[in-house]
Amino acid sequence: MLGQTIVNGLLTGGLYAIAAIGFSMVWGVMGIINMAHGSFIMLGAYVSYIVFAGLGIDPFASLPLTMAVLFVLGYLVQRLLLNRLMRTSLLLSLVLTFGLDLVLINLCLLVFSADLRSVNTAYTSQSLALGPLLVPIVRLAVFLLALMLAGGFYLFLNRAKAGQAILATALDKETARLMGIDPLKVYALTAGAGAALAGAAGSFASMLYPISPNMGLTFIGSVFVITVLGGIGSIEGAVLAGLLYGLIQSFAASLLGVNYEEIVAFVMFLVILVLRPQGLLGKRFYGEPV
Amino acid sequence: MKARGFARLAALVSCGWLLVLGALGAQAQDVLKIGVAVSQSGTFVREGEFLRDGYQMWADSANAAGGIKVGGKTYKVQLVTYDDASQAQTSAKLTEKLITEDKVRFLFGPYSSGIANATAAISERYKILTIAPLATATNLFTRGYQYFFCPTATGNAGLWPVLYLLQQVTPKPQSVAIVGPDDLFPNIAAEGAKTKAEELGLKVVYTAKYPKGAPDLSAVATGIKAGNPDIVLGSGYSQDSILLVKAMRELRIVPKAIGLATAVAVPDFRTALGAAAEGVMGVDYWSPALTYGDQYFKNSQQFYDDFSKKYGHPPYYHAAAGAAAGIILQDAIETAQSLDTVKVREAMLKIAGETFYTRYKFNPDGTNSVATLYVSQILNGEPKTVFPPDVAQAHYRYPATAGK
Amino acid sequence: MPLRLARWSGLALALALMVAAPLVIGGYWLRILTSIYMYAVVAQGLNVIVGFAGYHAFGNVVFFGLGAYIVGVAVTLGAPLALAIVLAPIGAMLAAAVLGWPLLRLKGHYFAIATVALNLAMNDLIINVGGVTGGAEGLPMPLGTLAPEALNELVYFLMLGAMVASALIVLWLSRSPLGYALRALKDSALGAEVMGINTTLAKTLAWALSAGMTGTVGGIWGYWINFLEPGSAFDIGISVNGYIMMLVGGMGTVLGPVIGAFFLETVSTIIWGEFIKVHLLILGLLIILVVMLLPEGLLFHFRRLVPRRKAAP
């Protein structure tokens, strides 16, 4: 029971981590809280579903496509809408992306209706037995892929030129500009990358959960908590926090009862905000442009 | 000559025209308006639309048969329909609009007990009689409402038929786990199931209420596994029931039976789970195999066929319940020979009869004393009614282990 | 001062019309007006904490829900309505004062999402506490003996009163030392400290004031709807609507939130009736348009159209 609780927590945490990374980075680099992030996850799930239902391609195989589609969407939203707000009031981005969220959900309702869709593969609901522990195959694969994606993204930020431009802009926009970096382009790139990661999370979610236009709402609360817990803008922080969050929920559910899962999460969130707003691994320069 | 003939013809035509107009005018006066505020967007969009189509099905049938006859007059039924967006606040607003602006004489209820709680407070104040076939929360009928009726069995009985069925099997199951989302209807159904299970001598080894909309139910499944029950009962909706069954399969929990309160009738449940849905039992409010009948539908199969033909997809219990609400209301109005709320209420308490959907005889609190529930089981990928035996389409499978 | 006179007499006329409205209209339209007033107060509550103090309390609906539950529980336990409606703002203000002390140390986004989390936590708390609150099953309140018309008029005048009172409070605030302190705080927390303003006290007072307004209408709403569910009492959509109304009307102004409420609620009622399938879509697009095109609010643009005595800068 204890072992299973740990396995449950870690595996769920991996998915939460990948759902949070894009959100955390967008917030860290640009100061934008993307309320439509949950809808991006939902769209990722629908892209995977369409490819699966239409062409029979497994969501793991269509992952690059899903991420590419979401990258374009994130990039365009930033270029056409959010970049114009960067000069006025950043806090308005919260309201604007909320509006965008409503639009995306309603559009999906019109296109896909409220029917629950699912991706059912041969290995859905199968598990590996490791002694007394049961490890569901899909969850394990999602967990491993999520860690690999997070690692890859970390390398991209720290090694690739474009990634360095993002970091430089996050550090100091003006200096970055002097060095010939166009902040607005970097912002669009960042938003695109964030959306692509949301798309990956959606692709994973499509194999675990029923797909519906409202499914993003079940993620957005956890994404907030993990982002703040890990430190805004920190990739490694989000991964660590995602796993920790999964474990805490899993233990809260088994020790206090399942209905305490959420309240424990929110109280934890408030306490961290007040006591350590920079999060576990947050760095000084990230986040809040006061 | 020619001109005179033309004048005569013109006079005749215009006389005829006037007659037609007069007749239309008279018809237009004898319209019985019934208000419908149901969800056509938001959380309950699917259930709401089925329900609305059911109401409409009755209205069209009644009008095709000439209308409702009251005191020598014949009324055509007109439904005034709005979208409550699955929100209690909006539904309350629209109910008031239906009563005060549209001047409806009766109301059909919304989908979901939460919303019905808000609208009943208004209709009751205005003394407008409501038939709400899918507002089954027990708390609606303990508040002393005079003008609120529900022909469907109330929520606390929502899992009983599964327990009754499992009384008949050998060896008898000994233990049960009861789980569901923390929400109005599921709590009532889970509470009712717990009481009934204990009454029947079953040991309740695990209960859990999970947050509504929880994305992951592994923790619940782990708890069930530790309790190792013979039966697992779930009081939730489609989405969380899918998650629950998935999580149980992943942890290789194989109880002798799984019984769900609402999900089995909905096709999404089966497509989402595929083989994992095999053998799952669920409570059903209606089955096309029922042989009750009324003036419009001689049995449930006929309703099934008529509805499928009209809407291009088969009906679920929501639509059947909606149509039955209309048939019962019509019976009460024609018995009362009046459109007066108080007289129709008196008639509601007097009448007893059957529709294709259910037999009915109402208690003073608004519940139907002879409502019945059924059990369906997914057998070879299709839901079949398996209980009670007199309407069973197939024999139940027990122990109901999954596909392979 | 003819302009000023014109403005005041215009307001007086509008108010007289609102007071007389129940004589002419009833039922549904009275209900629409009542919810416009309700939202105007929610927007006004946000105006105090967002528009004046600069703290984006996105989850301010927590006080709405709190007020609703205070009234719901009090009335169910047999308290008279008048007492219950007085308790609602008191409870909400106390909660804001106690919670504000730690939470108002947070800035910008952090504070905004902390209020959202607070709202979710309170929602879950009610569900888990159960008991007199009814928990997840909801709280059905006693029906009472009022005829529907009388109840509607009572709620109408309560909401109208709340709207007028909140506007007067904001008017007072805009001219009071507290108002100046808050504006200084909004521009620069450090600057305000240097000026000798007790910033903690000022912002806590502002949030308590905001909570009191929101809690009052939450309480009246609770009595009006007669059946409380955590999901509808703590519905974040109420805050979001109020926020957009405040933005549309113009934040930091006295009448902006009221104008925003009239505008948005009328528009959304029309959308609701006409475009069932796409009303969220239209609402979302409207939000995006408002933020992109008129972040300073309608009032600001309206004022620019009206010639003013003041010399152009």
Q: At what angle do helices C256-274 and C236-249 cross, to 10 degrees?
A: 120
Is the CB of C115 inside 8 Å of chain A's CB atoms? no
Which of B182, B207, B218, B262 should one mutate to test binding to chain A, selecting the residue with the greatest count of A CBs within 10 A? B218
Integer Cα distance of B43 and B33 in angstroms: 27
The answer to whether residue A75 is domain-embedded is yes
C240 neighbourhood in chain A, CB within 8 Å: 95, 98
Amino acid making up residue A204? F
Which of C99, C104, C113, C115 should one mutate to test binding to chain A, selecting the residue with the greatest count of A CBs within 10 A? C113
Task: Write down the ipTM of this complex.
Answer: 0.84
The answer to whether residue A120 is domain-embedded is no
Whether pLDDT at A31 is above 70 = yes
Question: If pLDDT is split at 50, 70 and 90, which confidence band does A289 have?
Answer: very low
A124 neighbourhood in chain B, CB within 8 Å: 246, 274, 276
**pLDDT (0 to 100) of residue A244:** 92
CB contact under 8 A, A218 and B213: yes
The answer to whether residue A94 is domain-embedded is yes
Q: C: neighbours with 3+ CB pairs under 8 Å? A: A, B
Contact B204, B230 (CB under 8 A): no
The predicted model gives A75-84 an average pLDDT of 92
Which of B44, B81, B96, B142 should one mutate to test binding to chain C, selecting the residue with the greatest count of C CBs within 10 A? B96
The answer to whether residue A256 is domain-embedded is yes
Task: Name, in order, each residue with C-beta under 8 angstroms of A15's C-beta and a sequence gap of 6 or more.
Answer: A139, A142, A143, A146, A201, A204, A205, A208, A242
- Alpha-carbon dihedral sign for residues A85, A87, A89, A91: positive
Query: What range does the domain containing A81 cover?
Result: 2-110+135-275
Size of interface A-C (CB pairs under 8 A): 117
The predicted model gives C215-236 an average pLDDT of 92
The answer to whether residue A123 is domain-embedded is no
The predicted model gives C48-61 an average pLDDT of 91
Integer Cα distance of B278 and C242 in angstroms: 48
Q: Which single residue is written with the structure tokens 């474990």?
A: A247
Q: How far is A58 from chain C (nearest CA, A)?
A: 32
**For chain A, which residues lie within 8 Å of any Cβ of chain C, measuring from their own Cβ?**
27, 31, 33, 81, 84-85, 88-92, 94-96, 98-103, 105-107, 109-110, 221, 224-225, 228, 259-260, 262-263, 266-267, 269-270, 273-274, 277, 287-288, 290
Q: How many CA atoms lie within 13 A of A138 on its CB side?
A: 23
In order along its 404 residues, chain B shows pLDDT tens digits of 445 555 565 555 555 555 554 555 444 558 999 999 998 877 788 889 899 999 999 999 999 999 999 988 899 999 999 988 888 888 988 998 899 889 999 999 999 888 998 899 899 989 999 999 999 988 889 888 999 999 999 999 999 999 999 999 988 999 999 999 988 889 999 999 999 999 999 999 999 999 887 888 989 999 999 999 999 999 998 889 999 999 999 899 999 999 999 888 778 888 888 888 999 999 999 988 888 999 999 999 999 999 999 999 899 899 999 999 999 999 999 999 999 999 999 999 999 999 999 999 999 999 999 999 999 999 998 889 998 998 889 999 999 864 43
Q: Which B positions 37-66 lie with beta carbon below 8 A of chain A? A: 41, 43, 45-46
Domains of chain B, with CATH numbers? 30-153+288-361 (3.40.50.2300), 157-284+374-391 (3.40.50.2300)
Q: How many CA atoms lie within 13 A of C229 on its CB side?
A: 20
State the pairing for strand pair B203-210/B175-181.
Answer: parallel
Measured CA distances, A205 to A59, A101, B217, B222, C50 (Å):
10, 18, 14, 20, 36
The predicted model gives C254-269 an average pLDDT of 89
Helix residue ranges per DSSP H, A56-119: 63-77, 83-85, 92-112
Question: What residues are paired with B70 via a beta bridge?
Answer: B73
Higher pLDDT residue, B27 or A15?
A15
Q: How many residues does chain A have?
A: 290
The answer to whether residue A128 is domain-embedded is no
Beta-strand ranges (E) seen in C135-266 are 139-140, 227-228
Integer Cα distance of A95 and C190 in angstroms: 27
Question: What residues are paired with A127 via a beta bridge?
Answer: A136
Chain centroid to CA B232: 24
Tokens of B85: 């967006």
**pLDDT (0 to 100) of residue B176:** 96
The answer to whether residue A284 is domain-embedded is no
Tens digit of each residue's pLDDT (9 = 90 or more) over A106-155: 999 889 887 888 888 888 778 888 888 889 999 999 999 999 999 999 99
Facing residue for C140 by CB, picked from B87, B117, B182: B117
Contact A215, A108 (CB under 8 A): no
**pLDDT (0 to 100) of residue C198:** 84
Tens digit of each residue's pLDDT (9 = 90 or more) over B26-85: 445 589 999 999 988 777 888 898 999 999 999 999 999 999 999 888 999 999 999 888
Tell me how many domains chain A contains. Answer: 1
- Alpha-carbon dihedral sign for residues C275, C276, C277, C282: positive
Q: How far is A9 from chain B (nearest CA, A)?
A: 9
Measured CA distances, B213 to A277, B181, B193, B217, B224 (Å):
28, 8, 22, 10, 19
The answer to whether residue A282 is domain-embedded is no
Q: How far is B203 from chain A (nearest CA, A)?
A: 20
Beta-strand ranges (E) seen in C70-221 are 139-140
Integer Cα distance of C179 and C197 in angstroms: 12
Beta-strand ranges (E) seen in C144-187 are none
CB contact under 8 A, C140 and B99: no
Chain centroid to CA C52: 14
**pLDDT (0 to 100) of residue B263:** 80
Integer Cα distance of C70 and C220 in angstroms: 10
What mean pLDDT, rounded, does chain C reach?
A: 87
Neighbours of C48 (CB within 10 A): 32
In degrees and rounded to multiples of 5, residue B386 shows phi and psi of -120, -5
**pLDDT (0 to 100) of residue A94:** 80
A95 neighbourhood in chain C, CB within 8 Å: 240, 243-244, 247, 287, 291
- With H, G, I as helix, E, B as strand and everything else as coil, classify residue C293: helix
Tens digit of each residue's pLDDT (9 = 90 or more) over C84-95: 999 999 999 999
The predicted model gives C10-18 an average pLDDT of 90
A117 neighbourhood in chain B, CB within 8 Å: 268, 272
Q: How many residues does chain B have?
A: 404
Which of C109, C110, C127, C285 should one mutate to test binding to chain A, selecting the residue with the greatest count of A CBs within 10 A? C109
What percentage of chain C carries pLDDT values higher than 70?
A: 92
Neighbours of B363 (CB within 10 A): 12
Integer Cα distance of A185 and B345 in angstroms: 69
**pLDDT (0 to 100) of residue A274:** 80
Q: How far is C76 from chain B (nearest CA, A)?
A: 13
Chain C residue with the nearest C-alpha to that of A228 = C110
Task: Name, in order, each residue with C-beta under 8 angstroms of C194's C-beta and a sequence gap of 6 or more.
Answer: none
